Amino acid sequence: MTKILVAGLATLDLIFRLDNLPKLGEKYRAIEGLLSGGGNAGNAAVATARLGGKVSIFATLGQDDVGDLILKGFQKEGIDTRSVIQLNDHQSSFSSISIDKSGERQIINCRNTLSLENLDVLQNLPIQDGYLADSRWDQAAVATLKIANHFSKPGVLDAEAPVSYEAVSTASHVAFSKQGLRDFTQINDLLIGLKSLSNRLDSWICVTDGPAGVYYLDKGQPRNVQPPQVLAVDTLGAGDVWHGAFVLGLAEGKSELDSVHFANLAASLKCTRFGGRAGMPTRSQLSHFDFSVIESE
């Protein structure tokens, strides 16, 4: 099995499905609800494991009930949690999430600021085939990506705002969100922002834009890889699934383009199912999903 280390944020999500997202200070009744693990790194770890990777996660939790539930969720998925740190003076991260009938979501997250503490744990881990870090914990992202560089392995950064220049320049592959790219470059136009990085960084760079697909540069020219068209029920965690599938594809020896196709498929299939992590597909489910990939300039 392909070994992947994921580093960053792990949370517990309370998810509600409603007809419309809340706008007023009054009571709302959900159509459906569930309690699920979440977080950029947490979701990506689960997605990667379901797609066939052998996954370890590096994250910080509190010595509290929320932290215990998050850990149990990882262990249920067969994820190695020996690098998860539980601290007495730390509050585990948790979120309240509302999802409307079109699949759009509204997230309120409560989490502590993470520090340089305990990064030495990373140095004691066995060599992985691929590394993924989210920008929610910048110090851990930089440390993880440096290890990937040292062993000449794919080191992917999930670049959500805010993201540091050190993390972006350390990664072998950077996958910005649209907001992350705009925040990092201070340029509103997606393609101009992407081009502005081509002469500044040696990393392979792309930006994900939901149903519009993934944009990347091929010899300086913008390319767009569109995802399969699906009826979106729930977009929660789709980006995390994308990042998990992308790093797994690279670690398995796929090209960047083939890894993007693979990640687009996994994220699109997730969007057809309600429940965040509950809707993340397995490798077998992907193989039976009929789709047509469209690539255009």
Annotate 207-230 with b (16+ C-beta within 10 A) or e (fewer): bbbbeebbbbbeeeeebebbbbeb
Intervals of the chain under pLDDT 50: 292-297
Question: What pTM was computed for the model?
Answer: 0.90
Alpha-carbon distance of 175 to 56, in angstroms, equals: 21
Would you call the peptide bond into 162 cis, given omega within 30 degrees of 0 as the criterion? yes
Alpha carbon distance 267, 133 (integer Å) = 18
What is the structure's pLDDT at 294?
37
What are the structural domains, with CATH classification, of the chain? 3-21+30-112+126-296 (3.40.1190.20)
Beta bridge partners of 16: 33, 98
- Report pLDDT for 290: 62
Query: Running DSSP on this structure, what letter comes out for residue 68?
Result: H
H-helix or E-strand spanning residue 217: strand 214-218
Are residues 248 and 2 in contact, defined by beta-carbon separation less than 8 angstroms?
yes
Residues 6+ apart with CB under 8 A from 253: none
